[in-house]
Amino acid sequence: MRILLVAATDAEIAPIVANLAHRETRGPRTRAYRADRHDVDVLIAGIGMVPTAVWTARALAVDRYDAAFNAGVCGSFDAALLPGTVVHVISDRFPEVGVEDGEALLTLEQVGLPAEVEAVGSRPPASAALDALPRVRGITVNTVHGCERSIENVRRRFNPQVETMEGAAFMYACSVAGVPFAQVRAVSNIVEPRNRASWKLSEAIDALGRTMGAIVFGR
């Protein structure tokens, strides 16, 4: 099985890569590994939706994959999704896409424009471990939320459960390419006014590594 694993940073997937056997460097941001019966290409696309969309689309155009995974951390809007929880994001959208009308931000739908602002994971790879994860709604943003007013605004408009800076871009690229995919995220923090002291980044990365091992390799 040939797998594409996409992450924003090396640190987020370090526990996963530690269990893979390196074979070669396949491009400026892609390294090839082998694990069990799987060939795994690891793409470090960079932080943000534009690098993720461009590099994921490039990888999927150059090579053929049986499945693609986006693994990383996320912030949680949902009180039930505490730091360390690993989730499967099945619906993700770009909440910043819209039109300002005075103090209001209107969606493209509201102003009668064609809208492609949501990605849906309708055909994920087959995995019992993936099926066992909480299935959540996400948003993908250029600026992560850390202000009470903007947090409440995005809650009211979209009622998201998690947020990232890359997820919907990855999902959209995979949907266009027709590759089975899943966005798997570990909660590192609650979305609230900026409070880095409450983040559980290392715990989230460890949980993500264990979960991805079970999803991809059955470990």
Other CB atoms within 10 Å distance of the CB of residue 163: 24
Phi, then psi, of 103 in degrees rounded to 5:
-85, -10
Distance CA 56, CA 50 (A): 10
pLDDT at 171: 97
Reported residue count of the chain is: 219
Q: Residue 125's closest CA among 94, 90, 91? A: 90
What long-range pairs does 32-37 form, CB within 8 A, spacing at least 24? 35/216, 35/217, 36/217, 37/1
Third-level CATH fold of 2-217: Rossmann fold (3.40.50)
Residue identified by tokens 């370090």 is 14
Both tokens assigned to 190: 């609650």
pLDDT at 219: 66
Q: How many helices (H) and strands (E) does the chain have?
A: 6, 12
List the domain boundaries for the chain.
2-217
Q: What is the pLDDT along the chain (219 residues), one digit of tens a residue?
A: 999 999 999 999 999 999 898 888 888 899 999 988 899 999 999 999 999 999 999 999 999 999 999 999 999 999 999 999 999 999 999 998 888 887 778 887 888 877 677 889 888 999 999 999 999 999 999 999 999 999 999 999 899 999 999 999 999 999 999 999 999 999 999 999 988 888 999 999 999 999 999 998 876
